[in-house]
Amino acid sequence: MVFNSFAPQICFQEVPDEVSLAFTITGCPLRCQGCHSQDTWDPETGIQLNNDNFQHYLTRYQGLVSCVLFFGGEWNPAALLDKLSLAKKHGLKTCLYTGKTKVSQHLIAQLDYLKTGAWRPNQGGLEKEKTNQRFIELATGNLLNFKFREHHHAIS
């Protein structure tokens, strides 16, 4: 199962205490006002991320990352589930950033972390006290938003 992605990036802050290999999946249908990623809205943008080239990335970054992070992709659940279970087979943790407020139990079963909530310019991102977004560690149900605020304070 296939969807399109930009080339993956290594991220240090998007998942607390993990080094993440992050894939931005194109084709987000939510069209939030003020979205900073409107260049990703077109599902034809980017390169096809199939199971083979995804495995190739996992092998290339083996030992360098602890987690695989998807920015979106829940609109193609079969393709996303394939990738999450491959990441788990490689011993990696998994995280999904979604603009929705919840995702299916099938996806939850393959995820360690989940960030929910659309971008609302007047409420801000995870580092803001008044944000509508939630970053959850699924094994414990703990809300980890405080880790983003700590980091923000540390660098500002």
Q: What does the binding site for ligand SF4 look like in residue numbers (CB under 6 A)?
A: 28, 30-32, 35, 37, 72, 99, 118-119
Q: How far is 144 from 137, CA to CA, in rounded Å?
A: 7
Q: Considering the complex, state which of residue 6 and residue 119 has its C-beta at the smaller distance from ligand SF4.
A: 119
| Nearest one of 109, 64, 70 to 90, comparing CA atoms | 64
Q: Which is nearer to ligand SF4, 92 or 99 (CB)?
A: 99
What's the alpha-carbon Rg for the chain, to the nearest Å? Answer: 15
Distance of closest approach, residue 117 Cβ to ligand SF4, in angstroms: 9
The nearest distance, CB 31 to ligand SF4, in angstroms, is 5
Least distance between ligand SF4 and beta carbon 118 (Å): 5
Query: What are 25's two structure tokens?
Result: 């999946």
Residue among 41 and 61 whose Cβ is closer to ligand SF4: 41
Identify the CA nearest to 128 among candidates 93, 94, 98, 152: 152
| Residue 156 CB contacts under 8 Å (≥ 6 apart), including other chains | none
Least CB distance from residue 34 to ligand SF4, whole Å?
8
Minimal distance, residue 64 CB to ligand SF4, in Å: 26
- The torsion of the CA quartet 80, 12, 133, 149, rounded to 10 degrees, works out to 170
Nearer to ligand SF4, 46 or 72 (CB): 72
**How many Cβ atoms from other residues are within 10 Å of residue 106's Cβ?**
13
Nearest position to ligand SF4, beta carbon: 99
Residue whose CB is less far from ligand SF4, 74 or 82: 74
